[in-house]
Structures are given as structure tokens and as C-alpha cells.
Amino acid sequence: MEFETLLKIVSSLLDKNEFTALRSMLGEINSVDIAEIMEQLEPVKRLRLFRIMSKDMSAEVFAYLEPESQTEIVKMISDRELQGLVNELYIDDAVDFLEEVPANVVTRVLEQATPETRKLINKFMNYPESSAGSIMTIEMVQLRDDMTARDAIESIRRTGLDKETVYTCYCTDAQHTLLGSVPLLHLLLFKEDTLVRDIMEDDAKLISVNTHDDQEDVAAIVKKYDLLSVPVVDNENRLVGIITVDDIVDVIEEEATEDFEKMAKVQHSDEGYLKTGVFSHVRHRIVWLLILMVSATFTGKLIDNFETTLSAVAGLTACIPMLMDTGGNSGNQASTLIIRGLAVGDITPKDYLKIVWKELRVAVICGLILGAVNIGRMFLLSQFSATGSHDIHVFLVVSAAMVFAVIVAKLMGCTLPIGAKLIHLDPALMAGPMLTTIVDLVTLIIYLSLANAFLMPK
Amino acid sequence: MEFETLLKIVSSLLDKNEFTALRSMLGEINSVDIAEIMEQLEPVKRLRLFRIMSKDMSAEVFAYLEPESQTEIVKMISDRELQGLVNELYIDDAVDFLEEVPANVVTRVLEQATPETRKLINKFMNYPESSAGSIMTIEMVQLRDDMTARDAIESIRRTGLDKETVYTCYCTDAQHTLLGSVPLLHLLLFKEDTLVRDIMEDDAKLISVNTHDDQEDVAAIVKKYDLLSVPVVDNENRLVGIITVDDIVDVIEEEATEDFEKMAKVQHSDEGYLKTGVFSHVRHRIVWLLILMVSATFTGKLIDNFETTLSAVAGLTACIPMLMDTGGNSGNQASTLIIRGLAVGDITPKDYLKIVWKELRVAVICGLILGAVNIGRMFLLSQFSATGSHDIHVFLVVSAAMVFAVIVAKLMGCTLPIGAKLIHLDPALMAGPMLTTIVDLVTLIIYLSLANAFLMPK
């Protein structure tokens, strides 16, 4: 059914107080879609719809709402309802929600949580941002190694898990030390009285991450080994949670977005484009714009210093934008490929020499082609135009400068990101802005020096 | 264990023909890591290691090898071994492999496949590139709606599935029409003689994709609904495969990489940076470099035409790079945010007016700040330098041009990607290169016209 139709039906059923029809209809709709419908309703209607749903359904839908709607609902419901909601939410959803809402809402929510939930929430909120701990879930199948397959299945049946959990069970000893993993299916395949420890894949093969590992590293591991989930352990190798691949999907997307932003010289906003206010947008963009504008003072000084040369030879000035753009584009091609290669693990800093050698050859070939085409282009222009240069020496100097600019740009383009990576800085953050400034400057220096040496009347 | 140590041990065990030790050691190592070790061995040793492994292990490891190593192994093994390998591989792994290797290898592999496997492989290879069909797997749990829970579990136990499969079972009727889904756990939770059709979540809530859907759309659905797998159906709604979230991870990463490349004006290579040869790199980069260089002819002509103005007023030329860079950076910030927003579904074309209004305000504020700082910068420079401009009118003209340039750049930066999306072109591909050229031109026209109007002696 079309979303708009669905929205209309829900809205009119709400108006007519047709709660039974509404409830059975909601049963047929995915929670993600219900949340989307709720976003479109006015606050009072939204609350009514929220109250119609069963406790677990409303908690699930709540987790998919935007922080603004979550805050509004929390403000409007009674302490008792809030208590039900908080304790029904998955801990990681509760934490996600609490991280986005105003402090007074957080306080009220924590007051209504059971002491146990509160303790868990606090623990989660203390994990460093972007750490494995901050994205893990604690709803998982945890089996003791001395259980039998029968006990294990019975224990799973009892806890009645659902979609938050992938069907890999992790086995621990009595002290919660992680020992190994068992796919649920293996429990079914073995004789009922086989011990879990005899079924499980043991330690050597088991891949786990630490609560303090960076989410980007966790994502790399999950991708490399095609895992559906990975167990998270604390410093004593005790199992504290799992991270499922659907959370990794979000991490991968987030990291790619941050790299896009860094390369476009924009500071990251967690809120998404439309939600970010005008002044936040300005704040996220103005710093780099200012830095780069001020750093362009150097290119300006350079041009000032060569003003005599530029005004003495016709057509020299006109080629400045082309040279700078070509240099910039060449460098940007190299740096983007390297930054992305580093991010997806396709390249490591120890490939540096191979990369430089490759870029050098690519740059020489690209530079020569561009230089040759440029001579043709300038020659053609000179045939059809009175302004601009008609001097073959100018063509040669511009093309020579272009070849050098492309080579410098490509070499800097691969060196800066790898250099940044080596000294543990962010390749995307360091390489982008510095590259522009350096390539601009070097291109101009080469160009103006060549012009000065070969084109000025002796 | 360290990878290097592991490699040394494996290598020396191979030399000493200690196959039993080797086999039990391999049992403890993840297939991904074994593949990585094999890549480092010389071909003859690689083949020996390959032959030591059990049939299913060797197939799994084979799937993780690079195409070159796969080709080499296929060339060295007997027809009989090849037969075993092909029929042991998952169909989607076999297809991935066949898509990368030389044609003569493909022929030989298909000859050794069972007719059934061959038919399946051919069918897979006919799905359009990047379609759901091309990334799906057919190894899945498929239950009939008239089975009981007991039959269902028995059938699962018999087929003995492993990690390729997520533990959601899809239910069909006798004609394979997709009816609904059942998490494996629910089968365990219900009474043994309950019919599958009474347990399953039915059609209305079930999300499925068509074999011809684009993988990017599939990824969006899997993300939106936090799915671990999604069923793939043909045009008659018959279940033909499933796509698991770990394959979606690859899709998301691939799509992000392609967008990075497009925005850096590089054509996509499937092979990764290091594997791509120098001439391929040149081919992937030179086209855009040439187009952009030639299109810089317009900025060149513009400067030529204003040559009198530029040489009449000191310091005008020196500001050209700064203005163009600032315009370019401003436009790039906007277009990157919009392109990424469109890619992750955060923005849709119908938000266009909201976005333009936001960008306009951001641009005016950024422009005014940059303009003000620029006047200060130029004033300071004039105090400490003999060259360059000392005329407050020049400062004002440069800053005014900057404000306009930032506004035009930001508006073009959001308009081009959304326009491209509306006419079903790729926002990343269209917006990047066109933006540079347009913003360069408009910035220069504004700057030079203002200079001509206000700074030239009457």
C-alpha cells in the first residue's frame, strides 16, 4: 500500500476512535513504517496512536522515532507509562535515545528505570563515542560450556529472543569468560546430551573485539570475515555484548559520510542535512573556507611578485586558472583514490613505494597528453582570436608547467594521505585541504619561474 | 597469532610434508586467513596446501582467493578435482569467480559442473550487473506452508545449512510462491504439530525484492528495515534466492567508493588501486582532466578580454586564485552534502526548496564573514608590502565579488545534484565536474565586471 494512503487511513481511524480496527491494522505494518506514519501525525494524535499499541510494539516503534518526537512523547506520558517504556526498550536503543534528548528528559527517564536498567544505561553511556561498547547490544544468546545441547535449546526457548539477536550463540564459563561460539543449528544437529563445549568452535578460530575498540576497526573485522555478529569482551575477556552486522552497516555508512565531509572541508554533523540549522551549517563550513582563503594569500603574493612578467607577456595570466584547476584535479584524483583505498583496507602505508612509482608513471603520461593537447588548443585559439598569446614559446612554457604541475600534484596527492596515516592522523582530514594549498603554490611557482626564465626579454 | 608467524609455520610444515600437523592446524584457522596465507605462497606450494584441505574447506578458501590465484589453481588441477570444486562452491561464489577469470577457464569450469549447477550458473550470469539477482544466494531455508513445525525443523536438520544462511526461513506454497517468513526460533517455540502457515509472519509485513531490482535499492531497504536477509522473487513472486546483510555491506561500500571516484572525476575500476595497471589508471583519469582543461578555455578567454582592466589596477590579478578557490570550495561543500544526502536517503528532490532557502542563508552569512575577513586581510597586507593593492576600493570589489561567488557557488552546488537526480542522471557524476566549470566562470565574470565598473578610471 502507498504510504500516503496508509497515513490517511490511520489518521481517519484515529479520528473515529476505531481502536480495534486500528490495532489489527498496525499488526500488519512494519514498525519502521509505523514510526514513519507517527512522524507525520500531530503530537496529540501521535500520542494516541502510541497508547493503542502493545507494550513491546510501542517500545519497538519508539526506537525508530526521531529524537524530537521521542522527547515530545516522553514529556506527555505518565511516569508509569514511561517506566513501562524504558524497561521494555533494548538497552542500546534506550542509550541512543538518551544521547539525543534534553537533559531534563534524561533525568526523568533514568528515574523511571529499574535500578538494574539504570546501571546498564549508565555503563553504556560511559563507553567512548564510536567504541565497540557504545554500539553493542547485550541481548544475545549466552550459553555455558557445561550445558548439554538440550539445556541450551531449552534456555534459548525460555529467553524467547527476537530479531535483535543473530543465531550464533556464544559460550562462556561460569566467570563469563568467552570460550567459543555455536551456531544455533549445530545445537539442533547434535545429540541432545552432547555438551556445548564439545560442539562449539573454540577459541583459536573465534573472533572477538574489545569494548574499547574503535567501531571502524570492528567494521573492518566484520567485513573481512563476513560475520553476522561479533562478540564483545572486556579487558578480562569476559563476554559483555555482541555487535550485529546491521549495526555495522550504519557504522560503514557513517564513516563514509564523514570522509565525504572531510574531503569537502565540512565538519561533521550528526543530525543530517535538513535537521542541521543554518548557523550550524555556517559553523561547520566557515572555518575551512577562512583558512583556505587566508592561505591563498601566498598565491596572491606570488602573482604580485611576478606582476612584471605577467604584464610583459600577453596571455600568461589567462592560463593561471587552467593550470591551477588541472593541478588541483590531478592531485584530487590521486588523493581520493588513496584515501578511499586506505579506508576500505585496499591499501596500507607499506605500499607507499609501489604507489609513488605508479603515480609517477600515471602523472608523466597524463601530463604529456595534457601538455600536448594544450599546445594544440592554444595554437587553435591563436588562429581565431586577436587577444591572448600567439607565441609558440608561451604555449611551450604553459605546457611544460602543466606537466610538472600534474606530476607534483599526483605525488603530493598520494604522499599526503599516506603520511597522515603513518603519523596516525586522519588521511581524509589532512590531505584534502593541505593538498589544494600546496598544489596551487607549487604550480604557480613552476609556471611563473619558467615564464620568467624563458619568456622575458633579455 | 601473528600473520607472519603463521605463514612461516605453514610454509615450513609444507616443506617437511607434515600433512597431518598441517591439516589439524588449518582446522584452527579461519578460511579468510587461510586464503590470505595461500596468496603469499608460491604457486606450487599453494596448490599443495589446497590439496591437503577437505573438499568443503578448500571450496570455502577458494572463494576468498584473488582471481589470479583462482585461475592458477584451476589451470593446475585435474578435471576430477575441478569437478569436485565447482560443485562444492556456493553458486554465488562460483559466479563471482567466473566473472573475473579468462574465458578459457570459464569454459573448462562449466564443462566440469553438473548440468544442474551449470544451468544455475548460467542463469546467475545472465542477471544484469548490480541487480538483486546477481548478488543473491540460493542457499536458503525454504519451507512449505503446509509443513508442521516438526517437519520444518527436520527438513532444516537434513539440509544442514551453514553460515551462508541467516536463520530466517521463507515459506512458499507448492508453486514456490513466496507467502511469508518464520524465524527459526519460532519453529522451536511452537508446538511441534503447528502448521508453518500458522506460525509465519504473513505477506502484508513481508519485505521482498525482485531479481531485477538494483542492488542500491536493495541496500536501502535492508538498511531501512534493519533486515538480516531479504527474500528475492521473480516476476511471478516465486522465491528464487535471498540476499544476506553481509553482501549488502559490500554493496554499500562499493557504492560509496564509486561516489568518491565520481566526485574526484575518476572512472570506476573494479580491481582496486594496486591491481589496476598504469595505463588503466591513465585511461580512468585523463578524460575528465582533458574535458576540464579544455573547458578552462572559457575562463582564459574571459581574462584575456579583461586584460586592460587587470593590468590597469594593481593587485587585481593576484586575487583571482583566491576567489576561484573560495568559490570552488563553497560550491563543493554544498554539493558534497547534497550528493551524500541523496545517496543515503537523507534528502529527496522534493526537499529542493527547503534546501535552496537554507543554502541561500548559509551562503549569505559565509560570504559576509569571508568578505569582511578579506578586507582586513588585504588591508594588513597593504601595510606590510610594497606590491599589491593599497586601494580600499579594490578591497571592496574583491570582497563583494567573494560574497556573490559564494552565493552562486552554494546555490549551484545544491541545484546541480538535485537537478541531475530529477532527470535520472547520477548526481555525483554530473554535479562534480560541471560545478567547477560553472562556478569558475561565474566567479570570474562577477569579479571582472565589478572591477571594470568601479575601478577603471573614467
**Looking at the partner chain, which of B225, B228, B374 has a beta carbon nearest the beta carbon of A293?**
B374
pLDDT-based confidence at B204, cuts 50/70/90? low
Cβ of B450: how many Cβ atoms within 10 Å?
16
Phi and psi at A168, nearest 5°, equal: -105, 130
Mark yes or no for CB contact B303/A321 under 8 Å. yes
What are the tens digits of pLDDT across the range B61-72?
A: 998 888 888 888
**Looking at the partner chain, which of A296, A355, A377 has a beta carbon nearest the beta carbon of B321?**
A296
B178 vs B191: CA distance, rounded Å: 23
Closest CA to B257 of A297, A343, A118, A199: A343
User: Which of B26, B30, B215 should be substituted to probe chain A, the one whose Cβ sees the most A Cβ atoms within 10 Å?
Assistant: B30
State which of A161-175, A311-325, B108-122, B139-153 shows the largest mean pLDDT.
A311-325
Nearest CA-CA distance, residue A133 and chain B, Å: 20
Q: What is the mean pLDDT of chain B?
A: 86
Closest CA to A142 of A258, A64, A242: A242
Mark yes or no for CB contact A444/B321 under 8 Å. yes
A167 or B163: which leads in pLDDT: A167
**All 3 cell numbers of residue B103?**
574465458
Closest CA to B190 of B179, B200, B178, B180: B200
> In the predicted model, is pLDDT for residue B448 greater than 80?
yes
Nearest CA-CA distance, residue B256 and chain A, Å: 7
Closest CA to A46 of A93, A8, A14: A14
Query: How many percent of chain A have pLDDT more than 90?
Result: 20
pLDDT-based confidence at A160, cuts 50/70/90? low
Contacts of B261 in chain A (CB under 8 A): 336-337, 340
Contacts of B281 in chain A (CB under 8 A): 358, 362
Nearest CA-CA distance, residue A453 and chain B, Å: 20
**Looking at the partner chain, which of A249, A315, A387 has a beta carbon nearest the beta carbon of B223?**
A249
Report the pLDDT averaged over residues A436-451. Answer: 91
**All 3 cell numbers of residue B398?**
574583491
B208 vs B230: CA distance, rounded Å: 6
pLDDT given at position A275: 86
pLDDT given at position B1: 58
Contacts of A264 in chain B (CB under 8 A): 332-333, 335-337
Nearest residue of B to residue A354 by CA position? B274
**Looking at the partner chain, which of A290, A310, A436 has a beta carbon nearest the beta carbon of B373?**
A290
CA A223: distance to chain centroid?
Answer: 15
pLDDT-based confidence at B13, cuts 50/70/90? confident
pLDDT given at position A56: 82
Cβ of B8: how many Cβ atoms within 10 Å?
11
How does DSSP classify residue A161?
Answer: -
B169 or A323: which leads in pLDDT: A323
Mark yes or no for CB contact B388/A300 under 8 Å. yes
**All 3 cell numbers of residue B458?**
573614467
pLDDT given at position A370: 95
B247 vs B236: CA distance, rounded Å: 24
As a three-state string, the secondary structure of A324-392 is: HHHHHHHHHHHHHHHHHHHHHCCCCHHHHHHHHHHHHHHHHHHHHHHHHHHHHHHHHHHHHCCCCCCCH
**Looking at the partner chain, which of B162, B188, B347 has a beta carbon nearest the beta carbon of A274?**
B347
What are the tens digits of pLDDT across the range B323-360?
A: 998 999 999 999 999 999 988 888 889 999 999 999 99
Q: Which element (helix H / strand E) includes A53? A: none
Mark yes or no for CB contact B329/A289 under 8 Å. yes
End-to-end CA distance of chain B: 80
Report the residue count for chain A: 458
In CATH terms, A3-127 corresponds, of 3.40.50.2300, 2.40.70.10, 1.25.60.10, 3.30.1700.10, to 1.25.60.10
Size of interface A-B (CB pairs under 8 A): 354
Residues facing A214 on adjacent strands: A131
Contacts of A352 in chain B (CB under 8 A): none
Q: What letters, b where the CB count within 10 A reaches 16 and e where it falls short, cover A202-227?
A: eeeebebbbbebbbeebbbbbbebbb
Q: Taken in order A53, A57, A59, A64, is the CA torsion positive or negative?
A: negative
pLDDT-based confidence at B435, cuts 50/70/90? confident
> In the predicted model, is pLDDT for residue B382 greater than 80?
yes
pLDDT given at position B405: 95
Mark yes or no for CB contact B321/A299 under 8 Å. yes
Query: How many percent of chain B have pLDDT more than 90?
Result: 20
Mark yes or no for CB contact A311/B315 under 8 Å. no
Nearest residue of B to residue A402 by CA position? B293
Say if residue B62 is exposed, middle or buried (CB neighbours under 10 Å; 0-12, 13-18, 19+).
Answer: buried
**Looking at the partner chain, which of B185, B266, B406 has a beta carbon nearest the beta carbon of A336?**
B266
- Report the topology of domain A296-455: Tetracycline Repressor; domain 2 (1.10.357)
How many H helices and E strands in chain A? 23, 7
B29 vs B429: CA distance, rounded Å: 43
Whether B84 and B113 have beta carbons less than 8 Å apart is answered as no
Whether B279 and A361 have beta carbons less than 8 Å apart is answered as no
> In the predicted model, is pLDDT for residue A218 greater than 90?
yes
pLDDT given at position B305: 87
- Scanning the structure block, which residue is given the C-alpha cell 584452527? B28
Phi and psi at A244, nearest 5°, equal: -95, 160
> In the predicted model, is pLDDT for residue B190 greater than 80?
no
Contacts of B169 in chain A (CB under 8 A): none
Report the pLDDT averaged over residues B105-110. Answer: 83
Return the percent helix, strand and coil in chain B, to nearest 5.
70, 10, 25
> In the predicted model, is pLDDT for residue B161 greater than 70?
no
Whether A371 and A395 have beta carbons less than 8 Å apart is answered as no
The lowest-confidence range among A121-135, A291-305, B30-44 is A121-135
A366 vs A405: CA distance, rounded Å: 11
pLDDT given at position B358: 94
CATH superfamily of B142-249: CBS-domain (3.10.580.10)
CA angle at residue B127 from B124 to B128, to 5 degrees? 145
pLDDT given at position B407: 96
Whether complex ipTM tops 0.95: no
Nearest CA-CA distance, residue A321 and chain B, Å: 7
A169 vs A154: CA distance, rounded Å: 13
What are the tens digits of pLDDT across the range A219-266?
A: 989 888 888 889 999 888 888 888 888 888 888 888 888 888 888 888
Packing angle between helix B215-224 and helix B245-263, nearest 10 degrees? 120
pLDDT-based confidence at A54, cuts 50/70/90? confident
A158 or B402: which leads in pLDDT: B402
Nearest CA-CA distance, residue A273 and chain B, Å: 7
Give the contacts of B227 (CB within 8 A, at least 6 positions apart): A246, B207, B221, B245
User: Which of A285, A391, A394 should be substituted to probe chain B, the one whose Cβ sees the most B Cβ atoms within 10 Å?
Assistant: A285
Report the pLDDT averaged over residues A269-291. Answer: 87
pLDDT given at position B163: 47
The CATH class of the B306-455 domain is: mainly alpha
A241 vs A228: CA distance, rounded Å: 14
CATH superfamily of A142-250: CBS-domain (3.10.580.10)
Mark yes or no for CB contact A333/B29 under 8 Å. no
> In the predicted model, is pLDDT for residue A449 greater than 90?
yes
User: pTM of the prediction?
Assistant: 0.79
CA angle at residue B117 from B114 to B121, to 5 degrees? 135
Rg (CA), chain B: 31
Q: Is B169 helix (H, G, I), strand (E, B) or coil?
A: strand
Report the pLDDT averaged over residues B373-395. Answer: 84
Nearest CA-CA distance, residue A69 and chain B, Å: 17
A22 vs A13: CA distance, rounded Å: 6
Residues facing B182 on adjacent strands: B169
- Scanning the structure block, which residue is given the C-alpha cell 535538513? A274
Whether A157 and B188 have beta carbons less than 8 Å apart is answered as yes
CA angle at residue A382 from A380 to A386, to 5 degrees? 140
> In the predicted model, is pLDDT for residue A163 greater than 60?
no
Looking only at the bridges linking them, the beta strands covering B142-144 and B168-172 are: parallel
pLDDT given at position A176: 85
B411 vs B404: CA distance, rounded Å: 11
What are the tens digits of pLDDT across the range B168-183?
A: 788 888 888 888 888 7
A404 vs A402: CA distance, rounded Å: 5
B47 or A28: which leads in pLDDT: B47
CA dihedral B13, B16, B18, B24 (to 10 degrees): 0
End-to-end CA distance of chain A: 81
What are the tens digits of pLDDT across the range B293-313?
A: 888 888 888 888 888 888 888
Nearest residue of B to residue A380 by CA position? B297
| CA atoms lying within 13 Å on the CB side of residue A149 | 16
A251 or A104: which leads in pLDDT: A251
User: Which of A249, A251, A374 should be substituted to probe chain B, the one whose Cβ sees the most B Cβ atoms within 10 Å?
Assistant: A249
Closest CA to A433 of A295, A283, A258: A295
Mark yes or no for CB contact B318/A300 under 8 Å. yes
The lowest-confidence range among A180-194, A337-351, B215-229, B289-303 is A180-194
Looking only at the bridges linking them, the beta strands covering B168-172 and B178-183 are: antiparallel
Contacts of B318 in chain A (CB under 8 A): 299-301, 303-304, 307
> In the predicted model, is pLDDT for residue A187 greater than 90?
no
A208 vs A143: CA distance, rounded Å: 16
Cβ of A231: how many Cβ atoms within 10 Å?
24
> In the predicted model, is pLDDT for residue B440 greater than 80?
yes
Contacts of A248 in chain B (CB under 8 A): 249
Phi and psi at A59, nearest 5°, equal: -65, -40
**All 3 cell numbers of residue B173?**
506454497
A408 vs A412: CA distance, rounded Å: 6
**Looking at the partner chain, which of A207, A281, A317 has a beta carbon nearest the beta carbon of B362?**
A281
Extents of the domains making up chain B: 3-127, 142-249, 306-455
> In the predicted model, is pLDDT for residue B318 greater than 60?
yes
What are the tens digits of pLDDT across the range B86-96?
A: 888 887 788 88
**All 3 cell numbers of residue A292?**
583556505
